[in-house]
Amino acid sequence: MRVLGIDCGSERTGYGIIDSDGRDHRMVAAGVIRTSAKSPLALRLLEISRRLRQVIHEFQPEAVAVEEVFHAANPKTALKLAHVRGVALLAAAEAGLKVGEYSPLEVKTSVVGYGRAEKDQVQMMVGSLLHLAAPLESQDASDAVAVAICHATHAARARLEACL
């Protein structure tokens, strides 16, 4: 299964594509969509939407996984994050893709085994699970790959339970 994971952010949206059977994962691509904080939010959302559509078109994932909104200390930040999530969900829906949504706790538990893991721990485990020579340079891309791994793991478990 090819999964696109998305780590939403209004200035940096990470994406990661993996091929996985639920146990073994292989890196396909990862990157970051950067927008300027000086640009109006509407233009940043447009750019994120355009780039996500390009990624979906280029890599043809079978599913998309997005992290749920966490409770940010700053409501304005949480609202911007929700706008970006909406753009990501729309791009996936337009492409006819199934979408999985996971809490940060679920993602970290799936990848690190500890729901309160730090970003650098997630980055190291993503590199280890994918047998990369070095961890991904960007934590945003690494977080997106972690979301994809979480989805692949959950989907495999659901398929197994359906067979029992």
**Residues designated as active site:** 7, 67, 140
136-160 per-residue burial string, b: 16 or more CB within 10 A, e: under 16: bebbbbbbbbbbbbbbbbbbeeeee
In total, the chain counts a number of residues equal to 164
Tokens coding 70:
């966490």
Query: Within 13 Å, how many C-alpha atoms sit on residue 133's CB side?
Result: 0
Q: Are 105 and 140 in contact, with CB atoms under 8 Å apart?
A: no
Maximum alpha-carbon separation in the chain: 53
Report the distance separating Cα 108 and Cα 120, nearest Å. Answer: 11
Report the distance separating Cα 150 and Cα 78, nearest Å. Answer: 22
